[in-house]
Amino acid sequence: MAIIRPFKAIRPEKKYADKVVSLPYDVMNRAEAAHMADGNPYSFLHICRSEIDMPEQENPYDHSVYQRAKANIAQNLEDGVFVQEKKPVLYLYKQVMDGRAQVGIVGCVSVDEYMNNDIKKHEFTRVEKEKDRINHFDICNANTEPVFLTYRDNKKIRSLMEGWIANHEALYDLETPDGIQHVLWTVDDDSTIQALSELFGEVPALYIADGHHRSASACKVGLKRREENPDYTGEEEFNFFMAVVFPDSDLKIFDYNRVVKDLNGHTPEQFLTKIKEAGFEVEELGTDAYRPEGKHIFGMYLQKKWYKLTAGPAMVPDHVIDSLDVSILQDKLLAPILGIADPRTDKRIDFVGGIRGLEELERRTETDMLVAFAVHPVGIEDLLTVADHDMVMPPKSTWFEPKLGSGLFVHQL
Domain boundaries, the chain: 10-252+401-412, 256-376
What is the reported pLDDT for 127? Answer: 85
What is the reported pLDDT for 81? Answer: 98
> Quick one: the chain helix, strand, coil %, rounded to 5?
35, 25, 40
Overall residue count recorded for the chain in this entry: 413
What is the reported pLDDT for 344? Answer: 85
Q: Give the whole-angstrom CA distance, residue 334 versus residue 260.
A: 9
What is the reported pLDDT for 27? Answer: 86
What is the reported pLDDT for 150? Answer: 98
The CATH code that applies to domain 256-376 is 3.30.1760
What is the reported pLDDT for 395? Answer: 84
What is the reported pLDDT for 291? Answer: 97
Q: Give the whole-angstrom CA distance, residue 213 versus residue 201.
A: 25
Q: Give the whole-angstrom CA distance, residue 68 versus residue 254.
A: 35
Q: Give the whole-angstrom CA distance, residue 143 versus residue 242.
A: 6
- CA distances 352 to 58, 369, 372, Å, are 27, 12, 10
Contact 125, 223 (CB under 8 A): no
Amino acid present at 242? M
Within 10 A of 117 (CB to CB), how many other CB atoms are there?
11
What is the reported pLDDT for 382? Answer: 93
**What are the residue ranges in the chain where pLDDT is below 50?**
none
